[in-house]
Amino acid sequence: MMTPFQTGIIAEASSDALFITFNVNRSEINTLKNALAAAPALIEELQAQFPAAELHAAIGLSDLIWDELDTTRPQLLATFPHITGKDIEFTPTDVDLVLHIRSSRHDTTYQLASVLFKAFGNSVTLVDEVSCFKYLDNRDLTGFVDGTENPAGEQRKAVALVGDEDPRFEHGSYFNLMRFVHDLEKWEKEDIKTQEDIFGRTKHTNQEYPSAEKSVHAHTKRTSLKDENGNSMEILRHSMPFASLTEKGLMFASYSKTPVIFNLMLESMVKGDENGNTDHLMKYTRATTGQAFFIPSNQWLMSLSNSK
């Protein structure tokens, strides 16, 4: 039975993923609408064909293309923020459309990507395609476990899915995607204690430092935010490493019911706290892309068949 939300949003971590971005040919908007309307059924068909592959997908649209498809829009949809600090800068590289496809089998991930790309036809132009993989026990190529603080169980829906605060776009999600290219040669010159202090957690046993023992520059310090009531501000991360012999890094991917939390995390990393203490992990990696999207509900996608 089809879920109201796209299953790629809240499914558990996968061992294989594709992040594919496109720009849209505006003269082929009706072709795009037909493809998006057909996508939930195409995805469900392949999920049924490969039931053990844990195949999931999420299709997202940016601020740049949204108004070509709908006369109303998600309340907080915007382009990726341009954030500049003393030593770090995150620059928007927004595109129109994203596919986030993942499974436990690379062949199945590829097959769904191929089916959807064929459906889009001449309506899109490929911008980027990054294949990612599970590294060891869900570690980044720095050697540290990624996504440790993710919400679990039903809390994943509570964190990631828009609710009745924006009823027209209920069951959707705000998606942020960044490609980080690591300087692993520089990173691997640091001793393990220095690396652990930069992250704010132990490397091999994945134990987070007590708050009082964290450096103000620690990655976990800069990205662990509290609201005015002292509650943790959460996002759902689906980041995964990518690598070739010449370039290695992380596709940072996060879902949330609001983009505000992610934007605050970026500010904390780049501009720092009230004393300007920034995230020192950024000395060993650089963001080459920054993109923001809204992942609409399956019902919204299917409704496009009636909106010519």
Tally of CA atoms within 13 A in the half-sphere of 70 that contains its CB: 20
Looking at residue 228, what is its pLDDT? 86
Residues 6+ apart with CB under 8 A from 49: none
Rounded to a whole number of angstroms, the CA Rg of the chain reads: 19
Q: Is residue 145 a contact partner of residue 239, using CB atoms and an 8 Å limit?
A: no
pTM of the full structure: 0.97
Give pLDDT, residue 276: 93
State the Cα–Cα distance between residues 180 and 141, nearest whole angstrom: 11
Whether 20 and 60 have beta carbons less than 8 Å apart is answered as no
Confidence band for 308, pLDDT divided at 50, 70 and 90: low
Q: Residue 145's closest CA among 153, 136, 154?
A: 136
Active-site residue, from 96, 146, 197, 279: 146
* pLDDT tens, residue by residue, 190-243: 999 999 999 999 999 999 999 899 999 999 999 999 888 888 999 999 999 999
- Supply 97's token pair: 């459309």
In this predicted structure, the answer to whether residue 104 has a pLDDT above a threshold of 60 is: yes
Residues 6+ apart with CB under 8 A from 15: 103, 104, 133, 134
**Sequence letter at residue 174:** Y
Let me know if 247 is exposed, middle or buried by CB neighbors in 10 A (0-12, 13-18, 19+). exposed
Instruction: Say what the pLDDT of residue 190 is.
Output: 98
Q: 132: closest CA among 124, 121, 141? A: 141
> Cα–Cα distance between 110 and 231 in angstroms, integer?
40
What does the mean pLDDT of the chain come to? 96
* CA dihedral of residues 172, 233, 12, 304 (deg, nearest 10): 10
pLDDT tens, residue by residue, 59-95: 999 999 999 999 999 999 999 999 999 989 999 999 9
pLDDT beyond 80 at 58: yes
Helix (H) or strand (E) holding 126, with range, is: strand 124-133
- Tell me the mean pLDDT in the region 252-272: 97
Rounded Cα distance, 119 and 97, in Å? 14
Give the pLDDT score at 307.
Answer: 65
pLDDT tens digits, one per residue of 127-185: 999 999 999 999 999 999 987 889 999 999 999 999 999 999 999 999 999 999 999 99
Is position 137 annotated as part of the catalytic site? no
- pLDDT of residue 262 exceeding 70: yes
CA distance 216 to 214: 6
